[in-house]
Chain A
Amino acid sequence: MCGIVGLFLKDASLEPKLGEMLTEMLITMTDRGPDSAGIAIYSRGHDGHAKLTVQSANPDTDFDGLAEKLGAAIAAKVKMAVKDTHAVFDLPLDRLEAARHALRDIAPAIKVMSAGEGIEIYKEVGLPKDVAARFDVSKMTGTHGIGHTRMATESAVTTMGAHPFSTGADQCLVHNGSLSNHNSVRRVLKRAGMTFETENDTEVAAAFISHKLQEGAKLGEAMEATLTDLDGFFTFVVGTKNGFGVVRDPIACKPAVMAETDQYVAFGSEYRAMVMLPGIEHARVWEPEPATVYFWER
């Protein structure tokens, strides 16, 4: 069991409340996944800027002076905002790849959570309410976001085993279920040049979609391919810089409910994760069909 929540805003006036709404949704899903929680939040970036979100087990020492060191290494201005065990670097978009490489040398213990123009990912072990509070998620603004509460089955309860997984710029994926062919798919993707941080099955699904997108597939096509190439149980919710998608395996035993109004598209593992959303009583509420791809792009 795991819990998934997601919110894709159509009405910009709700953007200041995205973090608050997602936090409330996430906490409602605590009993589906109390061991760890994570959130990917997408905001409107600034032209030419990128965000690199990193995590450290020893933030006090690892983050001390890191912005200056990273700035010197990539010869660019780097700003750092520390939030508990995570830090977000603001840097020039064209130096993003260089910054990822430089970090491996400067601070090898640091883990990259996400990279891109809009995305920030925060995830940790612990109850969803505690994780959300540590990163002050309720104060965050943005255009869309995805949250996950984990009840681990396929790999250890660790920060890196928590969802969302991000395997490409501005991409993320969360999963309820378990995959049975993830080892063989991981081998194929490794040969194709994808890199992996964990032994987790969900990271393989994320990398599978990232690889398809790299090859030129559209979001909908990449998600469609999971239905033929991934074996196991899954409800996936996927985020990109300007998109939000949902797909369930053909057996569809992992629950999913969606709601749509003029203001938003929302996803919940259960309806009760969405009852606090504005206008939910008049929303179109439905269960996504098995083996059917749904996505929205702005």
Chain B
Amino acid sequence: MQSFDLAAQGLRALNSTLHALNGQTNQTSWEVINPKGAHAIAVGLDAPIDVTVRGSTGYYCAGMNKQATVRIKGSAGPGVAENMMSGTVIIDGDASQYAGATGRGGLLVIKGNAASRCGISMKGIDIVVHGNIGHMSCFMAQSGNMVVLGDAGDALGDSLYEARLFVRGSVKSLGADCIEKEMRPEHLALLADLLARGEADHLAKPEEFKRYGSARKLYNFNVDNASSY
């Protein structure tokens, strides 16, 4: 394993070293020590490497990730895995606001709680949260899956498009155009796979969740509303 001391070597050196690993590399396993809440750790990776951050991170850790697996052995600041394209980000602790925002693909696993706006405007990412999520989560979420083992805060899925939301606990309130939907066999199968990949299959069963989705009344053109457009 390659070790990188962020306190000694600095952020630019870390990210340029990791960015240089596109294509073939034998250095597939990395650890970052002394993160000390620094911003933009391991952003923009584009290689099938495994990076373990030993501590808590600041803003935008693992943003724009492609292919890489980033493990945070602490908590993550705002915007973790923002706009992720593919790969996996696993956080042992909590995540601050807008985790996984606008994510287009890949898997984000948060083993603690996520704060407000988790998965806002998600566009294909899968997010599995072992704890709770805060208010305005999945706002304008377009596609992808959100799995929450705990509770969801106010205005879940406000102005939702086609993302699927699965919540095991309570939902404080649903946002505009977000409704509970029936759980069909294909959803149970999808959820079983997400729980397994999200390292949560020993914590919850698919049958324990409720599914929420778009009522599709807000984003489809309706001639009766023509004067409002």
Contact = CB atoms under 8 A, between A and B. Distances in A.
Q: Do A and B come from one complex?
A: yes
Contacts of B116: 251-253, 290
Interface string A263-298: 000000011111100000000011100100000000
Contacts, number: 41
B37 A275 contact: yes
Contacts of B97: 252-253, 255
Contacts of A285: 56, 75, 93
A272 B94 contact: no
Given A252-B97, A252-B116, A271-B58, A290 B134 contact: yes
Interface in A68-106: none
Contacts of B59: 270
Given A252-B97, A285-B75, A290-B135, A275 B58 contact: no
Given A271-B56, A285-B56, A286-B94, 18 more contacts: A251-B116, A253-B97, A255-B78, A255-B96, A255-B97, A270-B37, A270-B58, A270-B59, A270-B77, A271-B77, A272-B37, A272-B38, A272-B58, A273-B37, A274-B37, A275-B37, A285-B75, A285-B93
Contacts of B38: 272
A252 B134 CA distance: 10
Interface residues of A, number: 16
B36 interface: yes
Of the listed residues B36, B37, B75, B96, the one surrounded by the most CB atoms of chain A closer than 10 A to its CB is: B37
B51 interface: no
A255 B97 CA distance: 8
Given A286-B94, A287-B94, A290-B134, A271 B37 contact: yes
Contacts of B78: 255
Interface string B46-83: 00000000001011000000000000000101100000
A290 B36 CA distance: 25
A270 B75 CA distance: 12
B178 interface: no
A253 B97 CA distance: 8
B165 to A, nearest CB: 20
Interface residues of B, number: 17
Contacts of A250: 135
Interface of B: prevailing SS: loop
B40 interface: no
A249 to B, nearest CB: 11
Contacts of A290: 116, 134-135
Contacts of A271: 37, 56, 58, 75, 77
B147 interface: no
A132 B180 CA distance: 55
Binding site of A, secondary structure by majority: helix, strand, loop or mixed?
A: loop
B36 A272 contact: yes
A126 to B, nearest CB: 24
Interface in B102-131: 115-116
Nearest to A272: B37
Q: Sorted from nearest, which 6 A-B pairs have the closest CB atoms? A: A272-B37, A271-B37, A275-B36, A271-B56, A287-B115, A272-B58
Interface string A238-263: 00000000000011110101000000
Nearest to A281: B55
Contacts of B134: 252, 290
Nearest to B95: A287
A275 B55 CA distance: 10
A65 B75 CA distance: 54
A290 B135 CA distance: 9
A234 to B, nearest CB: 15
B170 to A, nearest CB: 15
Contacts of B77: 255, 270-271
Nearest to A250: B135
A217 to B, nearest CB: 27
A3 to B, nearest CB: 13
